[in-house]
Structure 1
Amino acid sequence: MFERIKDDIRGVFHRDPAARNTFEVLTNYPGLHAVWLHRISHKLWRMNWKWLARSLSTFSRWLTGIEIHPGATLGRRVFIDHGMGVVIGETAEIGDDVTLYHGVTLGGTSWKAGKRHPTLERNVVVGAGAKVLGPITIGEGAKVGSNSVVVKDTPAGATVVGIPGRIVLSAVDKDEIERTSKKRNQIAEKYGFDAYAVAPDNPDPVANAMGVMLEHMHKMDAKVEELCGVIRSLGGDVCTDNLHSITAEDFANTGIDPFVRDEAGDSHEAFDPKI
């Protein structure tokens, strides 16, 4: 039992930078208290001491603001951060290293007996206020965005957002985005623009649209250079001047901050190809 408690505390330090020391975690993390009390009530539930299990669960809800039915199954190092308003139904199954934020509901969509609550596999993260409903499975490593409502199975490694929840980033998409990002960064250096907002774990539609525009500009530029080369080979005097490089001054009155900080904390122009 004490080894499981130590394991839980290590999990908190791994996922919460606000945790300062073990005593603080032991005394001020209701998410941990709810999980520990649930382990006792779950054992009572399996021993068929149903009333006592439910009574302990009710006391835990009063103490922590987190309602976990004693029939639910929780894995190791489950971390409920903040926790207020979290509801976990009777047939819910939660894998190891899952993280739930406040206001999350793992609920059912049917009054029929049997499996009616979600299954969350290892390393799933469910954002604040999200609702995961029904006997569905959220695959390993998947992420559910804040305030989303998920009612369908989610594949491993995917990111789901919206009402109803829709996949905005799959594991395959991440690999493709990583390859595309490398290509776009190379193109960006040519134009003196650092597309630092495009990241595999940040499906920003504006940043992605800018990346598409950069690719199009690159292709157009290549065509123009090719055309100019042909004209010069025929004796024409064209394309002898270099293109004007984009600088921070070009964006002085656009409202865009022309300076960013690199990993070392040094300030650079956002359109400096060296960063």
Structure 2
Amino acid sequence: MMFKTMREDIDVVFEQDPAARSTFEVVLTYSGLHAIWAHRFAHSLFRRKFFFLARLISQISRFFTGIEIHPGATIGRRFFIDHGMGVVIGETCEIGDNVTVYQGVTLGGTGKEKGKRHPTIHNNALIAAGAKVLGSITIGEHAKVGAGSVVLKDVPAHSTVVGIPGKVVIQNGVKVGRELDHTDLPDPTGDRFRELENEMNQLKRTLNAIQQRGANEHGDSAL
């Protein structure tokens, strides 16, 4: 069973990454694969309540791969981490089969709450680079989370969500409101700057009006 799972982990790399050339290369150089194998071992120890040893292995893996997976996280078959650097997966995270995540993804919590506090990712979901999926929420089957998105609410199956905060833009193949255009994602920082610019312009107009009124009053008093 263990060797079958390892074989599946290797096979999914070839399916997902066109740059993979040989099994030898994949086994020796793919940090995502190394992190997954280390996690599978650490998770087996965690389930047997060897908590310290499990955490030690996960931290050693983090040092060498740049990928942090808590040994308590439950991960299904054929999990693929592409590139991998900066990926963080929390303790109560549950990941189904055939899930893909890219670099910089965080599957984390929103605070210091107890119990189930990390996301559940269902089968065949994809989490793109830099996305943050936070809290005890559910990402449905075949759902996609766009690059750089921050998701704080459940995502239905067969949906695509983008933006900060994440909003569904495609569901069951039908566009919902905003188109999935990575050059036109929601930009709250830019929106706030534009609001501040408008406020400054309004203040300038008000100040100019006050100065003009003062100058007129001064001219009338001189007469």
TM-score of the alignment, normalized to the shorter chain, above 0.5: yes
* Runs of 5+ unmatched residues, structure 1: 177-201, 207-275
Alignment of 1:159-178 (within 5 A): 159-171=160-172, 173=174
**Are positions 1:99 and 2:100 aligned together?**
yes
SS at match of 1:106: strand
- Measured in 2, the distance between the counterparts of 1:16 and 1:126 equals 15
Q: Secondary structure at the match of 2:40?
A: helix
Deviation at 1:101, TM superposition (A): 0.3
Residue matched to 2:144: 143
What's the RMSD between the two structures over aligned residues? Answer: 1.7
Matches within 5 A, 1:1-275: 1-171=2-172, 173=174, 203-204=180-181
Compute the displacement of 1:173 (Å). 1.2
Larger Rg: 1
Residue correspondences, number:
180
Asked if 1 retains the 8 angstrom alpha-carbon contact of 2:162 and 2:180, the reply is no
Residue 190 of structure 1 corresponds to none
SS across alignment from 2:14:
helix
For residues 180 and 149 of structure 2, the distance between their equivalents in structure 1, rounded to whole angstroms, comes to 16
Q: Scaled by the length of structure 1, what TM-score is found?
A: 0.63
* Cα offset, 1:2, TM superposition: 1.2
**Distance change >3 Å, CA 41–CA 205, structure 1 → 2:** closer
Sequence identity (%): 62
| 1:229-262 deviation digits (Å, cap 9, x = unpaired) | xxxxxxxxxxxxxxxxxxxxxxxxxxxxxxxxxx
Report runs of 4+ in structure 1 exceeding 2 Å deviation: 202-206
Distance 2:160 2:61 in 1: 31
CA distance in 2, matches of 1:5, 1:203: 35
Q: Distance in 2 between the 1:203 and 1:46 partners?
A: 41
In structure 2, relative to structure 1, the CA distance for the partners of 1:205 and 1:107 (3 Å cut) is: closer
Name the residue aligned to 1:223: none
User: How many angstroms does 1:24 deviate by?
Assistant: 0.7
CA offsets 1:154-191 (integer angstroms, 9 cap, x no match): 000100000000001011516x9xxxxxxxxxxxxxxx
Structure 2: which 5+ runs fail to align? 184-223
Matched residue, 1:259: none
Q: Which amino acid aligns with 2:53?
A: L
CA shift at 1:112, angstroms?
2.0
CA distance in 2, matches of 1:101, 1:116: 21
Distance 1:205 1:72 in 2: 31
User: 1:172-222 CA distances to partner (integer Å, 9 max, x unpaired)?
Assistant: 516x9xxxxxxxxxxxxxxxxxxxxxxxxx74599xxxxxxxxxxxxxxxx
Mapped partners of 1:120, 1:204: distance in 2? 24
